[in-house]
């Protein structure tokens, strides 16, 4: 099945938008190691017990089910980057 020019353009736009909305693992590793000046807050959206067992240095625990309650406490002047078990 061949892609039409419209399909190709739609796919290009989709992935361009997706890449703008997501940080790459390399970017976060660099931030954790202090090798970048990105002004972000890393949010671990796993359950609190999983966070307490282990988490990325500098991350803040904001479980998915508590995001609504905690949203007002999150900074508006920083980029918020989330991570969880499933990499979504």
H helices of 1-88, where?
A: 5-21, 25-32, 48-53, 67-70
Of the candidates 53, 41, 39, 46, which has an alpha carbon nearest to the alpha carbon of residue 67?
Answer: 46
CATH superfamily of the domain spanning 23-83: Rhodanese-like domain (3.40.250.10)
**pLDDT of 86:** 64
Of the candidates 32, 35, 22, 24, which has an alpha carbon nearest to the alpha carbon of residue 80?
Answer: 22
pLDDT higher than threshold 70 for residue 88: no
Of residues 54 and 85, the one with the higher pLDDT is: 54
How do residues 14-58 score in pLDDT, each as one tens digit? Answer: 988 877 767 777 778 888 888 777 788 999 999 999 999 999 989
**C-alpha pair distances (Å), 27 with each of 22, 51, 57, 87:** 10, 21, 14, 15
Torsion of CA 17, 58, 39, 44, to 10 degrees: 30
């Amino acid at each position: 099945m061949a892609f039409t020019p419209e399909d190709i353009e739609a796919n290009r736009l989709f992935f361009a938008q997706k890449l703008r909305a997501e940080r790459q693992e390399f970017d976060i590793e660099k931030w954790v190691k202090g090798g970048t000046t990105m002004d972000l807050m890393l949010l671990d959206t796993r359950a609190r017990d999983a966070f307490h067992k282990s988490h990325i240095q500098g991350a803040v625990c904001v479980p998915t089910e508590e995001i609504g309650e905690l949203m007002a406490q999150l900074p508006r002047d920083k980029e918020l980057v989330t991570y969880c078990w499933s990499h979504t």
